[in-house]
Structure 1
Amino acid sequence: MVELRPVTPGDVEILERIVREPEVAAWWSPPDDYTGMLSVVHDGEVVGAVQYDEETDPEFRHAGIDVFLSARHHGKGLGSDTVRTLARWLIDERGHHRLTIDPAAANEAAIRCYGKVGFRPVGIMRAYSLDHNTGTWQDGLLMDLLAAELA
């Protein structure tokens, strides 16, 4: 359902609008820049962005994922498809055996989305991230996925 491609200069204005939508801004602060992120494209339209980070130490090798989509595309399966598509690439092409994702513990929609891909809750990270809207610390939920569990 989605195509992932490097963010282009023409995508930045669209992504800036998306990350400021109230439903997105509740969980994401605007990034300083979009270098290294991938645009999420659905039916030829940029509908969000996804990024990953990699731990390359052989003893702890794994990758992490973060994603946001425009509110008008929430609840349509695009989030799960985005995470699944990137997860498959990180496992098959980059050789990771474990992936992590860390939504706000209160972000029930994101947690359901990631669960559909096969991510499982590991534990609560207390006072994990600073909520840029309220200035308070919020708990995060650490979730992980082993390669064999990818749905």
Structure 2
Amino acid sequence: MYSDSGDDRQQQPGGEVGELHGAAVVLRPTTATDITTLDRIVREPEVAAWWSVPDDYRDMLAILCHDEVIGAIQFSEETDPEFRHASIDIFLTARRHGQGLGTDAVRTLAHWLIHERGHHRLTIDPAAANTPAIRSYRKVGFQPVGIMRAYGRDHRTGGWADGLLMDLLADELT
């Protein structure tokens, strides 16, 4: 179900990513032609409530369903051997919410980060009020670690919002 085509394009320092195939989605490095679509998606009110407009989409992977770009996912890696782990962030067009596609994208990237990049632990940090995202991440196997108070900007109010730190150990990936 999950495979890396071996495209060997750079995602993050040290994180070469080709095309990754999930059950229903394909993840691939973004291209210049994806930027307009991704910029439109991140500005949708349902997405903008949780995401800032990125400065650059080049370090992301486009999420495709039936060859249509429906969002983006990104990762970062801590490479210090004492604290080695990776983190994930994702956004998906509102019209594809609730269809399991975000869960599939997170699971696909998590699988690659664990089995190809050798991470034993992954983190994700949704807004504590973003219950649909939290539910999706739990389906992959992420567990709540704790609330990070006043963690990030609340794009709805302009104030600070709590975040929920969640993590997944390699043997917990579902």
TM-score range for the pair, normalised by the shorter chain length: over 0.9
Q: Does 1:17 align with 2:40?
A: yes
Q: 2:53 aligns with which of 15, 25, 30?
A: 30
- The C-alpha deviation readout for 1:37-62, integer Å capped at 9, x for no partner, is 00000001000000000000000000
**d(CA) in 2 for partners of 1:99 and 1:82?**
14
Superposition RMSD in Å: 0.6
Q: 1:108 aligns with which of 131, 138, 149?
A: 131
> Aligned to 1:58, what secondary structure does the other structure show?
coil
TM-score, normalised relative to structure 2? 0.86
Q: Indicate the residue corresponding to 1:41 in structure 2.
A: 64
Question: How many residues in Structure 1 have an aligned counterpart in Structure 2?
Answer: 151
TM-score, normalised relative to structure 1? 0.98
- The C-alpha deviation readout for 1:25-82, integer Å capped at 9, x for no partner, is 0000110011210000000100000000000000000000000000000000001000
> Which one-letter code corresponds to 2:146 in the other structure?
G
Q: Which runs of 4+ in 1 moved over 3 A?
A: none
> Aligned to 1:27, what secondary structure does the other structure show?
coil
> Which one-letter code corresponds to 1:10 in the other structure?
T
Q: Indicate the residue corresponding to 2:147 in structure 1.
A: 124
Q: Does 1:70 align with 2:84?
A: no
Q: Indicate the residue corresponding to 1:83 in structure 2.
A: 106
**d(CA) in 1 for partners of 2:76 and 2:64?**
20
**d(CA) in 1 for partners of 2:33 and 2:42?**
15
**Structure richer in helix, relative to its length:** 1
> Aligned to 2:157, what secondary structure does the other structure show?
coil
**d(CA) in 2 for partners of 1:79 and 1:122?**
21
| Unaligned stretches of 5+ residues in structure 2 | 1-23
Q: CA deviation at 1:97?
A: 0.2
